[in-house]
Copies of this chain bind each other. A is one copy, B any other.
Amino acid sequence: MQTPLKIAVVGSGLVGSLLAIYLKRAGHSVHVYDRSPDIRTIQFSGRSINLAMSHRGWRALDDMGLSEEIREMAIPMDKRAIHLVGQPLNYQPYGNEGESIYSISRGLLNRKMVSLAEAEGVEFFFETKVWDVTLADATLHTGETEQGAWDDRGYDMVFGADGAFSRIRHRMQRQNMFNYSQEFLNTGYKELNIPANPDGTHKLDKNSLHIWPRQDFMLIALPNLDGSFTCTLFMPFEGENSFESLKDKDTLKAFFAEYFPSTVDVIPMLVEDFFKNPTSTLVTMKCYPWTYEDKVALIGDASHAIVPFYGHGMNAGFEDITILNQLMGEYGDDWKTIFKEYEKSRKPNADAIAELSYRNFMEMRSKTADAKFLLQKKIEKRFSEKYPEKWLPLYSRVTFSYRPYSEALAIGDRQKAIMDEVMLMHDIDKKWDSAEVDNKILELLDTP
């Protein structure tokens, strides 16, 4: 057990709320600050992408005994369903039999997490704006406006779980030797909706993550418990087929009729939602260090904001908590060491999942529509089923394992080089399931 401290967590999102539960269970007094109102009291923003919870996320909930009640809010998706114009649906399983990622509404999960934290005795301060932090003594500065009078709130320790545009990090950025980058994609996103059938059933297969890949843009849909799907349209801000180009009702309808004909009947509120919901940006943010002495630490998106295409933003943030908690067990009250080891351990993995997420953007929007890519996936799957100890596909290592993301990236690169050679084999589309292909892979695996 650690010596009880007075700890502030800035940000009541998923990572902030779960971290608060962990800290409370470890015996600390925990205050959570958020500039927004209590999410349980407000309507959702219309700019959310459903979560895809996988192994790493579940483990962090499991360790606190929370996964059972969260599973009730989740719908398993064991495959991608690829929608191409004029072709039958194509299903691509994510992993082995029984392996799924889980669709959860971000807003509903966040409400649940706040309630769970409150039940633990965590105290929440909503609509309280943290403008700055004094790093040396973990004092938060709050107030109505940035330029107005501020209150000082002293703590033993502060966690910045306040997301990609973290104020806590903002102060750390002004320290010497603080490395930092933020890079926006030229692609943005918008939330749309497929409502449930009148009988409450889903209009599309509910155990799939649906993708309409169209090269430079794509639509995805993830199921909700109420029979609806939350859809996300990803497309460039400018140029042909961009958010800018879809400026009126008729252009929008014509665009969807041409590129997403299968959605025309299932997205009835297209026009209303498209022009009502905001167009949001996508940013990759990296920084280092993540901690200041034993006083301040960044966690989740505040330390590593990634693009959403691997569905790992929340999973990576929850894994931050898992690792932090392991180090708390290991080093007790030596918070300096805990923080140092935490950032050293997590940074390469955060960088790796950032890279993997960016690459999955390319894969999802274009490669999932490519016959050669699908064949490659089939070869990989076959080989990995036959030689499970020799080949864990990249997606499975990221999603259905607890191996470090950095290892997944490195081994994934090696596997890609091997598959590039395999795909060059003569008549590969005919002999893809032959012993010759197996032997080729085995031989390449043995080549250093």
Contacts and interface: CB of A to CB of B under 8 A. Distances in A.
Number of identical monomers bound together in the oligomeric complex: 2
A180 interface: yes
A163 to B, nearest CB: 14
Contacts of A41: none
A401 interface: no
Interface stretch (A171-179, A244-252, A431-439): A171-179
Given A147-B150, A150-B147, A182 B179 contact: yes
A331 interface: no
A177 B184 contact: yes
Nearest to A186: B177
B177 A281 contact: yes
A183 B181 contact: yes
A180 B173 CA distance: 12
A149 to B, nearest CB: 9
Nearest to A188: B177
A182 B184 contact: no
Interface in A163-217: 173, 176-184
Contacts of A184: 176-179
Contacts of A179: 182-184
A176 B150 CA distance: 26
Interface in A144-159: 147, 150
16 contacts: A147-B147, A147-B150, A173-B182, A176-B184, A176-B281, A177-B184, A177-B281, A178-B182, A178-B184, A179-B182, A179-B183, A179-B184, A180-B180, A180-B182, A181-B181, A181-B182
